[in-house]
Amino acid sequence: MAAMPNDAPIAPSPETTTPKTPTAAEIEQEKEQSRRAAAKARGIAVKAAGASDDALINPVASIWPPPYYFEDDLRRVRPYHWTYNTYCKERWRGRSLIEIFESEFRDRPVEYYRKSMETGDIFVNGIKVGPDYVLRNGDLISHTLHRHEPPVTSDPVGIIHEDDDMIVINKPSGVPVHPAGRYKFNSVLEIMKAERGQQFMPYPCNRLDRLTSGIMFVAKSVKAAEALGNQIKSRTVRKEYMARVVGEFPEGEVVCDQPILSISPKLGLNRVRAEGKTARTVFKRLAYYPPRDSAATNGQPEAPEPTNEELSRLPTEAGDESNGKPWINKRGYSIVRCLPVTGRTHQIRVHLQYLGHPIQNDPIYANQRVWGFNLGRDDADGTVNTDEDVISRLSRMGKEEVAQAVVYYDEMVDKYEKKRAEKMTGEVCEICATPLYSDPGMHELSLWLHSLRYEDAGGAWSYKSPLPKWALPPEGMAGPTTVGGMEELVEAVKDENPEIMG
């Protein structure tokens, strides 16, 4: 649900250490105080406890400053109460409240939603209506809940350039741009607002997925955002990404023109399909690094063996990690430059998958349990794996089963990350009985895809971010540490896309 909280602020003190968890009584008192304060501001009387079911319910007041604290190299948020608001969608009309939450809001068990409707934590038009209420056009559905945000990396939002109109940032991986889903304060825009003050109003001009790192533009006004947005839409802005992919990517410029279709907007799932939208990406290999066991035979010094500390973190259970994993036989990995000429969702990830060199730690497009034995390669007509099969497999991957990235170049890292990936712990919150998750693993905080560079095709401006650590040569091996200009990539499509020449 889209969050539209009230404006009345509460100002908890910022935390730098693990905070004391408030008691249920303290939380209930805080909620009641918030309801009364909000009602007073509107000139509405709040009925005392025990009032009739048609008593007006007021949302919990918004929070400022965000209750951040840092621990174990993660930015964490102290659990807090929050009220979501959303208007009835057309597809919800004529359906019961409990049916909507059971089918579309599956973050918590249906029993939780039913109880919340009975107690009034989920309400409609400011009134407790119960789970069997039938939704109508214009209804405002509200949900007050105890929020547990997932932690994100403690890496800062880096500033590459700033002037009176625009901020060019280096977005850390694993942090969503906008508040969405389980994330509110642990988002790029909210972190920037916390650093710059409540009055700061950011206007993002380009979009990066949560797991993707690198260059983003955040305007300081609507006018500046629209100006850059229009320039990006006209394709006179050139973008370059870096990706770390499975196996030895071909040399030279590789142009992928395969159309891309969204097969499940709800899951954010896309694939190459003939009836999809036109898409074009230019790829060029920057470096190839063979696996450790064959490094010496390829003229490279052997990488060092894992340390005792690294080995001690491995799961104790035995098993053949390569069993049923044909991608492990793809030797080594490549660092690849990517120039997306069009801007389809997941375009680079989908095109690399189709070419047989998916991003190594991509939890969706490099997952054999979703895409089958060949990971979707050369299956543009969907005959090897139908859309329905792919959607069904991805939907079944619950939180109790780690949605692992299955093509790690290093089996030791693979096993370690599967062990510590975010999943349900079996514990519940003492206040709201929400199932608690363990901390996320590295592959849930990072995707080896980085927005390296944005530049005006006419040469008016250019911004470049540092190479991420995963794109640099591994310890004990030689390789490039810088990236040249975009001329070779642009040359490969100048005839089909002359606008990219400037």
* pLDDT of 103 above 50: yes
- DSSP one-letter code for 211: T
Q: For residue 75, what are the CA distances in angstroms to 81, 152, 153, 201?
A: 19, 5, 6, 22
Work out the average pLDDT over 97-112.
86
The CB density around residue 368, as the number of other CB atoms within 10 Å, is: 17
Catalytically annotated residue among 132, 163, 165, 209: 209
Confidence of residue 370 (pLDDT cuts 50, 70, 90): confident
Q: Which pLDDT score is estimated for 501?
A: 75
Q: Which pLDDT score is estimated for 104?
A: 85
Q: Which pLDDT score is estimated for 32?
A: 60
- Model confidence pTM above 0.85: no
The CB density around residue 148, as the number of other CB atoms within 10 Å, is: 17
Measure the CA angle with vertex 83, ends 78 and 88; round to 5°. Answer: 145
Note the pLDDT tens digit of each residue in 112-147.
899 999 999 999 999 999 999 999 999 999 998 888
Q: Which pLDDT score is estimated for 31?
A: 55
> In the chain, where are the structural domains located?
80-147, 153-235+463-493, 243-291+330-444
Note the pLDDT tens digit of each residue in 405-456.
333 333 433 443 444 455 666 788 888 777 788 888 776 788 999 999 999 9
Residues 50 and 120 sit within 8 Å (Cβ to Cβ)? no
Note the pLDDT tens digit of each residue in 240-283.
999 999 999 999 999 999 999 988 877 778 999 888 999 999 99
CATH number of 243-291+330-444: 3.30.2350
Work out the average pLDDT over 354-371.
86
* pLDDT of 87 above 50: yes
Confidence of residue 40 (pLDDT cuts 50, 70, 90): very low
Q: What are the φ/ψ torsions at residue 145 (nearest 5 degrees)?
A: -145, 165
Instruction: Single out the residue of 405, 296, 421 nearest to residue 360, CA to CA.
Output: 405
Please report, for the chain, how many H helices and E strands are present, in that order.
Answer: 12, 22
Higher pLDDT, 414 or 197: 197
Note the pLDDT tens digit of each residue in 443-501.
678 899 999 999 998 889 999 999 999 999 998 899 999 999 998 898 888 888 887 87
Whole-angstrom Cα distance, residue 360 to residue 354? 14
* pLDDT of 178 above 70: yes
Say whether 414 is catalytic: no
Whole-angstrom Cα distance, residue 123 to residue 56? 10
Residues 501 and 487 sit within 8 Å (Cβ to Cβ)? no
Work out the average pLDDT over 391-406.
54
Measure the CA angle with vertex 275, ends 271 and 279; round to 5°. Answer: 60
Mean pLDDT over the full length of the chain: 78
Residue type, 213: S
**What are the DSSP E strand ranges found in 206-291?**
213-219, 237-246, 253-256, 260-264, 269-272, 281-289
Higher pLDDT, 461 or 367: 461
Q: For residue 198, what are the CA distances in angstroms to 190, 192, 312?
A: 9, 10, 45
Q: Which pLDDT score is estimated for 298?
A: 46
How does DSSP assign 17-41, residue by residue? SPPPPPPHHHHHHHHHHHHHHHHHH
Q: Which pLDDT score is estimated for 49?
A: 36
Q: Which pLDDT score is estimated for 55?
A: 60
Estimate the crossing angle of helix 97-104 against helix 110-119, to 10 degrees.
150
Q: Which pLDDT score is estimated for 435?
A: 77
* pLDDT of 309 above 60: no
* pLDDT of 25 above 70: no
The strand pair at 237-246 and 333-340 is best described as antiparallel
Ranges 124-133, 212-221, 238-247, 387-396: which has the least confidence: 387-396
* pLDDT of 223 above 60: yes
Tell me the two tokens of residue 447.
Answer: 């995707």
Higher pLDDT, 179 or 62: 179
Selection from 29-38, 242-251, 325-334 with the highest mean pLDDT: 242-251
Whole-angstrom Cα distance, residue 169 to residue 217? 6
Is-same-fold flag (153-235+463-493; 243-291+330-444)?
yes
Instruction: Single out the residue of 468, 455, 458 nearest to residue 498, CA to CA.
Output: 458
CATH number of 153-235+463-493: 3.30.2350.10
**What are the DSSP E strand ranges found in 64-175?**
68-71, 74-77, 80-87, 122-124, 140-147, 152-153, 158-162, 166-171
Q: Does domain 80-147 have CATH number 3.10.290.10?
A: yes
Residue appearing with tokens 């890292």: 413
Confidence of residue 316 (pLDDT cuts 50, 70, 90): very low
Residue appearing with tokens 């543009």: 380
* pLDDT of 214 above 90: yes
Q: Which pLDDT score is estimated for 24?
A: 60
Q: Which pLDDT score is estimated for 78?
A: 94
* pLDDT of 59 above 70: no
Confidence of residue 372 (pLDDT cuts 50, 70, 90): confident
Q: Which pLDDT score is estimated for 389?
A: 80
Q: What is the dihedral of CA 360, 437, 391, 243, to 10 degrees?
A: -20
Say if residue 65 is preceded by a cis peptide, omega within 30 of 0: yes
Tell me the two tokens of residue 11.
Answer: 């100002």
Q: Which pLDDT score is estimated for 305?
A: 39
Tell me the two tokens of residue 315.
Answer: 């799961």
Confidence of residue 397 (pLDDT cuts 50, 70, 90): low
Whole-angstrom Cα distance, residue 246 to residue 269? 20
Residue type, 392: S
